[in-house]
Chains A and B, each alone.
Chain A
Amino acid sequence: MFKYLPPLNEHNLPYPDTIHPIVVHFVIAMVLFAVFCDVIAYFTKKTKLYEVSWWNLSFATISIFIAVIFGQIEAGLAEPYAASVSALNAHTVLGWSLSVVLAGVTAWRYVIRLQERSQLPIAYLAASVVLVGLVFVQTYLGTLLVWVYGLHTVPVVDAIRGGLT
């Protein structure tokens, strides 16, 4: 059965480079910018920015599910060595959790937007702050996996194929 799967390259991937770190651009940047726009709009009453925030949040929500799919594929192909396992597990659990939290916040925002209020509820802003906190932690964990543990980098894949566990 395995012979029907595409061959893996020197990054241990069936395609040239990792895709997950590209898709997460659209979660990290859009969530942070959405909350930034909310904060500016809250204090300046520039309500246009609430719409900018909403559309960015919607885009982030679609993106996070694509990010999780590629994240699972690439985590499955990472063959993490001992030191990197706990960071990868934490990143996986937080990634799935974040998809639920982000979808929830976006759904909440959809309802708030339909109500056409002039100001966001404080509880929603508090939830946004928690969301930003989770995104920072998740980004940091993912950064560790790439830039400290070097998963899917050529030298690490080489070492794993050479017996590093």
Chain B
Amino acid sequence: MNPDLLEQWGDRLGVNGLPYLVPIHPQLVHLTLGLFIVAIAFDIVAALFPLDQQVFKFLAIPVTRSSLFDVGWYNLLAAAVITFFTVMAGLFEVSLAVPLADVKSAWGFQALETMILHGVGGVLILTLIVAMAVWRGFQRYRWRRDMARQVQWSYLAAGLFVFALMFAQGTLGAHLGAEFGVHVTADQLLHLGENPNQL
């Protein structure tokens, strides 16, 4: 961001470029990814229930197919709600980013390209998660409410496609922190020529 504009924050920004100790976006990312991936995973296990129910029997874990689908639905619903906050925190924190400019990531991108791709990717994935929650809701409460298999195969395939997008998105986000030093206090100190042992 324009250094003069960052000046408007006065001395409220720390060495990490944030008005607080550690970034919030990566914490919310735990919730978005955990909830979404587990939602799809349980829908897959539930969809393949005729094949995998013997495993639960072998482990002596009582199980009903509908409860596995409940995990698929409620976890997805929670992911859809929380991801608005994940994206919001991400957009705020990227607006305060001061990446190391003379670096190329392992994927060959510069900082600005990585920030733009990660920002666009975030809004895209939010849209897809919300769309999938709506799709999942229609399957659960309308189209397939009386069917043993609550989800369509195409829905599960779409979920796996979103996994691939999340892998790319997550790697770009990791590059922003661990390669461009965005909001990493020690990296910013080293960039200023100072010793991180003062932390």
Contact = CB atoms under 8 A, between A and B. Distances in A.
Interface of A: 9, 11, 16-18, 21-22, 24-26, 28-30, 32-33, 36-37, 48-49, 51-52, 55-56, 59, 81-84, 110, 113-114, 139-140, 143-144, 146-150, 152-156, 158-159, 164
A22 B73 CA distance: 22
B-side binding surface: helix, strand, loop or mixed? helix
Interface of B: 16, 21-23, 26-27, 29-31, 33-35, 37-38, 41-42, 61-62, 64, 67-68, 70-71, 74-75, 78, 100, 103, 106, 170-171, 174, 177-179, 181, 183-187, 190-191, 195-199
Given A28-B31, A148-B22, 7 more contacts: A17-B106, A25-B34, A29-B34, A51-B64, A51-B67, A150-B181, A164-B195
B101 to A, nearest CB: 13
A59 B38 contact: yes
> Of residues B75, B103, B185, which shows the largest number of chain A Cβ atoms within 10 Å of its Cβ?
B75
A34 to B, nearest CB: 10
B16 A147 contact: yes
B170 to A, nearest CB: 7
B174 A26 contact: no
B190 A156 contact: yes
A21 B35 CA distance: 15
B27 A29 contact: no
A48 B34 CA distance: 20
B140 to A, nearest CB: 12
B184 A150 contact: yes
A147 B70 contact: no
A16 B22 contact: no
B184 to A, nearest CB: 5
27 contacts: A9-B106, A16-B106, A17-B174, A22-B170, A25-B29, A26-B38, A29-B35, A29-B38, A30-B34, A33-B34, A51-B70, A56-B75, A59-B38, A81-B196, A83-B197, A148-B16, A148-B185, A148-B186, A149-B196, A149-B199, A153-B181, A155-B186, A155-B187, A155-B191, A156-B184, A156-B190, A159-B196
